[in-house]
Amino acid sequence: MSMLAARSVDAGEARAAAGAVLEPEAGVPLADLGLVDDVSVHPGGRVRVRVHLLTRDHPSADALAEAVRAAVSKVSGVRRASVDLAPLPERARAELGDRLRAGSPPAGRTPRIYAVASGKGGVGKSTITANLAAALAAAGQRVGVLDADVWGYSVPQLFGVRRSPIAIGGVMLPVRAHGVRLMSTGFFVSEDQPVVWRGPMLHKALEQFLADVCWGELDVLLLDLPPGTGDITLSLLELVPDAALLAVTTPQAAARAVAARVVRMARDARMPVAGVVENMSAAVCAHCGDSTPLFGEGGGDALAEQAGTEVLGRVPLDLPLREAGDEGVPVVLRSPGVPSAVELTRIAATLPVARRSLLGRSLPLMVR
């Protein structure tokens, strides 16, 4: 009987089942990465699978082993599946890195790129970025977030993840959380360590985040810009010329005035403005639900009028929004029915596609 069970298991089917499992950090089937090393069938319907890990200290090793075991267990005739994990040999890692680099389209060619900027800190720009990204991903979009706020990075906290990305042969894989692909300087330093980089280092880091990160196919890339109009913002305008500005302000006049400078810079650089998001439009009482315009009114409308664009939405400040940020789960996922989450989800679903004019751009010449 045991020999019959052994013959009933097709090793090819078991390998195909294991190969179809997505590598959790790369988001690509194991078979496509060549990570299913060996599949052996034994008497009694027992199957042993050997899988290579992208790195020795793989952050999702246990989850990957369980996913492979579950997939192989569904193959006809399998009564017990076991999984062995081993690091990918160095030579194979280098070759895989070359393949990943060659097969990953440049992040700058993502169909929709939004540079989220506010001009000043404290208006909730990163919170807006994180929740728009999570809402887009939940709707089925392939989304990346590049945290360009090098000194004041908060994307690791907002997504509840803090670990170094996997590097393979000179290529980095974005850290994945809540369905979004992330890259931030916060993944490379301890939480309390300041980043004291000057202009050239900042430019090089942004270059690497765009060129040396295997983002894969993306539908939307969100760039979380730092406050102000300094080196990083200027570098990104050069590195990602097809980005559209998404301006974030509060209703307060001071926030609107500073955000207007970023809009002016974008206009001077012929960067399209996708729209304005007014954050903290009103404080929502956790007990009675009443709204109070804590920071005044009209800042979003005034900025949109200056920019020649529209207000895409007004996000209220409620308790779940703050709690979600502290817990590292975007409010659109943690509490989708609260006022802030409803408005953020609506904004994400209606983000306009803004294209940069060809006026003033260098175009390639084709000679026949």
- Detail the residues annotated as belonging to a binding site for ATP: 119-126
- Residue 206 near residue 148 (C-beta atoms within 8 A): yes
Neighbour-count burial of 277, counting CB atoms closer than 10 A to its CB (0-12 exposed, 13-18 middle, 19+ buried): buried
Give buried/exposed letters for 298-325 (b at 16+ CB in 10 A, else e).
ebbbbbbebbebebbbbbbbbebbeebb
What residues have CB less than 8 Å from 339, skipping those under 6 apart?
284, 316, 318
Rg (CA), the chain: 24
- Binding-site residues sit at 119-126
- Classify the C-alpha dihedral 107-108-109-115 as positive or negative: positive
Other residues' Cβ atoms within 10 Å of the Cβ of residue 273: 23
Other residues' Cβ atoms within 10 Å of the Cβ of residue 73: 14
Bridge partners for 47 per DSSP: 41, 81
> Measured between alpha carbons, how far is 131 from 219 in angstroms, rounded to an integer?
16
